[in-house]
Amino acid sequence: MTHQFSASYLSDVTALFHFYKRLAEGAMEQVQDQELLATLDPEMNSIALIVKHMAGNMRSRWTNFLTSDGEKPDRNRDSEFVAPPRTRSDLMKLWNEGWERVFETLSALTDHDLPTQVTIRGEPHSVLQAINRQLAHYAYHCGQIVFVAKHFKAEDWKSLSVPRNRSEEFTRRVRSGELSQR
């Protein structure tokens, strides 16, 4: 992701959401279909369950963002951690539908909306706080997706950021304009 200097919170946070979306997608692209459903231990969630949970959260939080509580009454959070989508196609459809809600809502917001009060589970948040809450939540889960995918790929992992033992080369290439980074 090319870093763009910005003094606009909404532009910057939208770019960050896009960054984390692409990061997780880069990890998911590297694993086999069956690895999307695999767990490392009984207490861990598979990539597919993490995606299902994120999509459920996105639907709940970003639908009618300014006018209704971010925890919708029809959301059953516990069900997000069982019965994952069985195919990569179904998984990616759910993933993309969730992100479409995020970006559609963000694109409709203005700086004027940032101090507006919204609620999540009945608790008041400014729009700015609610967005930051979701950014942190999605970054956390995207990191989990990368971790699990990297585990499965092991030595075949293709780095999504600065490759191990290549920091100086990476920095030189970014400074020269050969590579871009966030």
Residue 116 lies in a domain: yes
Banded pLDDT at 26 (limits 50, 70, 90): very high
Q: Tokens 């019965």 map to which residue?
A: 83
Query: Domain with 98 in it: what CATH number?
Result: 1.20.120.450
Number of alpha helices (DSSP H) and beta strands (DSSP E) in the chain: 5, 2
As a whole number, mean pLDDT of residues 36-57 equals: 97
Task: Find the radius of gyration of the CA atoms of the chain.
Answer: 18
Residue 1 lies in a domain: no
pLDDT of residue 107: 98
Q: What percent of the chain has pLDDT over 70?
A: 88
Structural domain of 167: 9-175
Residue 108 lies in a domain: yes
Residue 181 lies in a domain: no
SS3 134: helix
Model confidence pLDDT, tens digit, residues 92-148: 999 999 999 999 999 999 999 999 999 999 999 999 999 999 999 999 999 999 999
Q: For the chain, what is the domain count?
A: 1
Residue 180 lies in a domain: no
SS3 69: coil
Pull the structure tokens for residue 23: 């990061």
The one-letter amino acid code at 97 reads: E
Using DSSP bridges, classify how beta strands 117-120 and 123-126 pair: parallel, antiparallel or unpaired: antiparallel
Task: Indicate the range of 11-25, 32-46, 65-79, 167-181 predicted with least confidence.
Answer: 167-181
Residue 16 lies in a domain: yes
Residue 112 lies in a domain: yes
Its pTM stands at 0.88
**Which H or E element spans position 125?**
strand 123-126
